[in-house]
Each structure stands twice: as C-alpha cells, then as structure tokens.
C-alpha cells in the first residue's frame, strides 16, 4: 500500500514562459473580454490551438510583420489580421460572436431535434472515426502534468521484529521528514514531448494487423531541485526505509482491517517475475500515449458514453452555427439514467453527423467510481474529477476524422486510516512489521494533445520508420526556446508564474 501510494507522486516543476523572439498573444470574446479556449489559429499553412485561457504563441519563424493570421472559433466570426496588426492591438485578438436566428437557418426540411441528431451520430461512428487502413504519419505535441496534493500523511512503524525502540524511533523520524516535506512542498511533475507517430494496417497470413510506431523527436521534464525530490527519489527513499524492516529474500502476508481480514501476498524477491524487461523512457511514453488516445476514441465503448451510449442521456438541440461551408448542430446533454456521469455540449457536423467538438465534465454529485468505507474500515477512494475538450478534424483525403486536440483533466481522492501488518510466511518464528497509516490526499493529472501535422504515407515509409530510445532532457525551469521550431500549446498562466524556491 505504501509503495503504491508513492507511485502517485511526481516531480515538482516550475514553468516560466518569457518567449524570446516569439510572439505571445490571446484570443478573447469581444463583448465579455474572456479568453476563448481552444481557438484555431492558422499561420502559413500551420494550425495552432489556443490554450484553456485563450493564449497562444507564434513561433519565431512565423513572426514577420506581414504574416497573416486566421483565427476561428465555433460560433464566432473569423478574424484575419497580420502580425503587425496584432502588435498594434497589444497582442489581443477580439472575436465577435455570430448572430444566427434559428428560424432563418434552413439546414433540412425536417426540424432537427436532439434525439434524432444523436441517433445519426451513433449510426455513423464507425465511418467517421475508423482506423484507416492507409498508412499515415501524425506529428503531435503531448504535455502531461501530475500533482500530488496531500492533506494528511502519517506513516509510523509501531512494531518490527529484531529492532529496538530506538531503532523504530529513528525510522519513524525518517518517515516524518519525508511526509512533512511532501505536505510542505507538494510535488508536481511536468513533461512535454514531440513525436512522429506512424500507423497503418498490413495483411499478415490473410489477416489485417495494425502497426503503430512512435519516433519521439524530443522530450523534456522539469524539476525545481530546491522544491521537491523526483518520484524515483521519493520511491527509493520510502522503499529504502521500508526494506530496513522487511527482508526481500522472504515472503510475507498482509493483515489489515478491524475484522482481521487477511490477504496473502508474496512480496519477496522470489515473487518477482523472471525475465521481465525494465521499462525504458520509450516504452513508458508509448504506453501512456497509447492509452490516452484509446480513451479519447469514440469507438471505445467504455469511455465517452455521452456519445457511445446515448440511451443514458438527455439531449437538447440548441441551434446551429456555421463552420466553413457547412453547419454544426449544438447539442446540450445531461444524465437521464443513473449510470450516466457527464454533462456538456456536443458540436455535430450536418454533413456527416460527426462530432467535431465535445466539451464534458462530471455532472454534480457524480463520480466515476470508488469505495466509501471510511467509518467502517477507514478507507475511502473516489475518482471525483473528469473533464475535457476534444476536437476532431476531417482528413484531407476524406474517409473520417482524427483527433486534432484534446485537453483532459482527471483527479482522485484517497483516504486511508488503518493498521497494516506484514507477517512472514514460515512455520518457524515469524518476522512481524506493523504500520499505522493515516493518509488523505488528492491527486490530479492534466493531459494535452495537439496534432501538428497529419499526412498519408506509403507502406514503405511505415515499414522503414524507426522507434529510437530517447531520454528526457531535465530542466530546472521552463525554457520556451526549447520548442522554437514548433507550433506547440502555450502554457497556462499558473505555469508561467511559477518561481523556484530560493
């Protein structure tokens, strides 16, 4: 349990964004002056997406005064300005909301309604979000931050075979120093990477086989050495203290609970899987990103149930807004049945009933799961944060949509207040180590994904693509010049204002 807890802890980082020779600007609502999140900015054939506060950065290579920017946002009139005009407007782009009387919008001869639109969405899911057989290359930017926000941390050993009271006092002092440091300086990890992702379908023995290759161009991690230790260092510290009292050559069972319930778990060295390969930076990144993309897919029946299981929700048609040469239906959704978890808005193309944008969050009082035995067994856990924005873009060659942008935040609350005892499995005299655990914490993960360039390639290019091992570049403060050649996502203000502790 203790080791699992420390797996949630990550590097404390700071971000400080003063973009040298690049231009930082903001897209706002002309009436409310509020930032417009996830607006699209096109510059010299490249697309940039504003962050959750409306901020965006123009790379150094595109900051000439005569460069034209095209800024668009669903429901707003598109703006086209030069970099010189952007500078004159104090780096602020104001978009005016579009005014569209629903009575004058003639999309079909039949008045649309929420149920009929979402039914058409579901019928067309396989067509609109298929995994294309044609090989493709997707260059994307990925950012992830993980924060551990402890409210209470108390780990104490009150019994350990062969150790004196003074020994236990010294060990508990070490635990106290570790947990106090985590509360005083909650750790956060921040990492970014750019990857060329190659994928396609090959026929092997008469059967289609999906291939995916990740060529990571560059990755960075940030850490303020004066503020917190890294996850690896914290895990090493915690397990180092723990294994002073547990012999790794032996097997133990764990006993915990008011009613003496027991779980028999071998934790000695003999329990480790033989031949298990050590995870590398590449394999870990591939696993994390693959799971992220899988969970964002509308073909995943276990996620995004507001699209995959419309029978659980109520949908209200809010009108239509133009998007290029087509219209986009606006659907508000909310739970209809108890299994439904989310509330939010879907934007659906009138051409093919594809969801081009989805905003969602947990409905009031809803969680994604957990257990609450706080008063009976001293345990409570709940996934209490889940919100996001997904934006999809049609492939140039047609044949469906791909994920262009995603911003997803998830969070969990954990409470643990119970004894934990390790008892050696042997017929002879047993080693016993007893802990008293009092833990209350919140954990949160924020992930952002942005497809910078998407193109179809040949099977030869897919087969020749290489996956190369890489190492994250460790930085103590954020340096925006690290991505000066790329159109990445502008950091949030809270990241920019971070200052290392002196």
- Exposed, middle or buried by CB within 10 Å (0-12, 13-18, 19+), for 143? buried
CB atoms within 10 A of CB 164: 9
- Please compute the mean of the pLDDT values over residues 83-104 and round it to a whole number: 75
pLDDT in tens, 250-271: 766 666 654 444 444 444 444 4
Q: Which of 278, 342, 273, 355 is nearest to 312 (CA)?
A: 342
Is-contact 307 354, C-beta < 8 A?
Answer: no
Does a structural domain hold residue 486? no
Provide the number of structural domains found in the chain: 1
Handedness of CA 231, 237, 243, 249 (dihedral sign): positive
pLDDT in tens, 293-334: 999 989 887 789 999 999 999 999 988 888 777 889 999 999
Cα gap 288→406, rounded to integer Å: 15
Does a structural domain hold residue 29? no
Does a structural domain hold residue 471? yes
- Please compute the mean of the pLDDT values over residues 67-74 and round it to a whole number: 85
pLDDT of residue 447: 92
Please determine, for residue 109, whether its predicted confidence score (pLDDT) is greater than 90: no
pLDDT of residue 344: 95
Determine which of 66-80, 365-379, 388-402, 440-454 has the lowest per-residue pLDDT on average: 365-379
Does a structural domain hold residue 293? yes
Locus of tokens 């930085």: 475
Cα gap 95→55, rounded to integer Å: 14
DSSP per position, 191-233: EEEEEEEEEEEEEETTEEEEEEEEEEEEEEEE--TTT---HHH
**Strand, coil or helix: 432:** strand
Does a structural domain hold residue 49? no
- Describe the crossing of helices 165-184 and 231-242 by its angle, rounded to 10 degrees: 160
For residue 381, what pLDDT band results from cuts at 50, 70 and 90?
confident
pLDDT of residue 491: 64
Locus of tokens 């949030």: 492
Q: Where are the beta strands (DSSP E) in 228-367?
A: 252-255, 262-263, 313-323, 326-335, 342-349, 355-362
Please determine, for residue 164, whether its predicted confidence score (pLDDT) is greater than 90: no
Cα gap 139→51, rounded to integer Å: 19
Cα gap 363→357, rounded to integer Å: 19
Does a structural domain hold residue 68? no
pLDDT of residue 103: 42
Count the residues in the chain. Answer: 502
pLDDT of residue 22: 66
- Exposed, middle or buried by CB within 10 Å (0-12, 13-18, 19+), for 409? middle
pLDDT of residue 496: 54
What element of type H or E holds 282?
A: helix 281-296
Determine which of 107-111, 130-134, 163-167 has the lowest per-residue pLDDT on average: 107-111
Pick 367 or 169 by higher pLDDT.
367
Determine which of 222-226, 321-325, 450-454, 463-467 has the lowest per-residue pLDDT on average: 222-226
pLDDT of residue 362: 94
Please determine, for residue 124, whether its predicted confidence score (pLDDT) is greater than 60: yes
Pick 297 or 209 by higher pLDDT.
297
Mean pLDDT taken over the chain:
77
**Strand, coil or helix: 49:** strand
**pLDDT over 70 percentage in the chain:** 73
pLDDT in tens, 402-456: 999 999 999 988 887 767 677 767 766 666 777 777 778 888 889 999 988 888 8
Determine which of 50-54, 119-123, 303-307, 329-333 has the lowest per-residue pLDDT on average: 50-54
Cα gap 436→158, rounded to integer Å: 7
Handedness of CA 27, 29, 32, 38 (dihedral sign): negative
pLDDT of residue 198: 92
Locate 221 and state its tokens: 């991690």
Is-contact 219 281, C-beta < 8 A?
Answer: yes
Beta bridge partners of 145: 190, 446
Cα gap 291→327, rounded to integer Å: 32
Does a structural domain hold residue 317? yes
Does a structural domain hold residue 278? yes
pLDDT of residue 252: 66
Locate 400 and state its tokens: 């469906």
Rg (CA), the chain: 26
Q: Which domain holds residue 129?
A: 112-222+234-476
């Amino acid at each position: 349990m203790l080791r699992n807890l420390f797996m949630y802890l990550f590097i404390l980082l700071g971000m400080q964004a003063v973009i040298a020779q690049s231009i930082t600007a903001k897209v706002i609502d002309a009436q409310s002056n509020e930032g417009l999140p996830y607006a699209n900015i096109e510059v010299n054939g490249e697309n940039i997406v504003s962050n959750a506060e409306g901020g965006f950065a123009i790379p150094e290579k595109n900051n000439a005064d005569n460069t034209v920017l095209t800024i668009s946002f669903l429901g707003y009139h598109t703006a086209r300005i030069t970099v010189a005009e952007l500078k004159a407007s104090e780096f602020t782009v104001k978009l005016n909301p579009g005014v569209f009387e629903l009575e004058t919008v003639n999309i079909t001869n039949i008045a649309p309604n929420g149920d009929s639109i979402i039914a058409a969405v579901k019928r067309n899911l396989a067509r609109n979000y298929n995994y294309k057989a044609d090989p493709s290359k997707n260059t994307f930017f990925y950012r992830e931050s993980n924060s551990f926000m402890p409210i209470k941390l108390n780990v104490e050993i009150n019994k350990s075979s062969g150790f004196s009271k003074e020994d236990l006092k010294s060990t508990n002092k070490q635990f106290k120093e570790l947990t106090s440091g985590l509360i005083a300086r909650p750790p956060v990890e921040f990492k970014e990477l750019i990857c060329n992702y190659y994928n396609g379908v090959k026929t092997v023995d008469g059967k289609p086989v999906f291939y995916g290759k990740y060529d990571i161009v560059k990755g960075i991690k940030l850490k303020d050495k004066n503020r917190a230790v890294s996850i690896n260092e914290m895990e090493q510290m915690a397990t180092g203290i723990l294994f002073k009292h547990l012999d790794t050559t032996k097997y133990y069972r764990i006993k915990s609970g008011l009613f003496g319930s027991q779980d028999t778990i071998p934790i000695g060295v003999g329990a480790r899987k033989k031949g298990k390969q050590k995870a590398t930076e590449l394999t870990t990144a591939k696993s994390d990103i693959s799971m992220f993309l899988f969970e964002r897919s509308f073909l995943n029946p276990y996620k995004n149930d507001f699209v995959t299981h419309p029978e659980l929700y109520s949908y209200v048609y809010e009108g239509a807004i133009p998007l290029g040469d087509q219209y986009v239906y606006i659907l508000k959704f909310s739970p209809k049945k108890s299994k439904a978890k989310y509330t939010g808005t879907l934007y659906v193309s009138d051409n093919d009933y594809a969801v081009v944008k989805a905003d969602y969050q947990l409905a009031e009082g809803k969680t994604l799961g957990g257990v609450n035995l706080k008063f009976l067994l001293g345990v409570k856990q709940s996934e209490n944060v889940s919100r996001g924005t997904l934006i999809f873009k049609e492939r140039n060659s047609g044949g469906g949509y791909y994920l262009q942008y995603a911003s997803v935040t998830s969070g969990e609350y954990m409470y643990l207040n119970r004894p934990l005892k390790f008892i050696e499995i042997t017929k002879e005299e047993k080693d016993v180590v007893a802990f008293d655990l009092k833990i209350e914490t919140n954990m949160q993960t924020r992930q952002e994904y942005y497809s910078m360039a998407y193109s179809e390639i040949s099977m030869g290019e897919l087969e020749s693509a290489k996956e190369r091992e890489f190492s994250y570049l460790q930085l103590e403060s954020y340096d925006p010049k690290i991505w000066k050649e790329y159109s990445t996502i502008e950091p949030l203000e809270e990241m920019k204002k971070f200052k290392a502790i002196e």
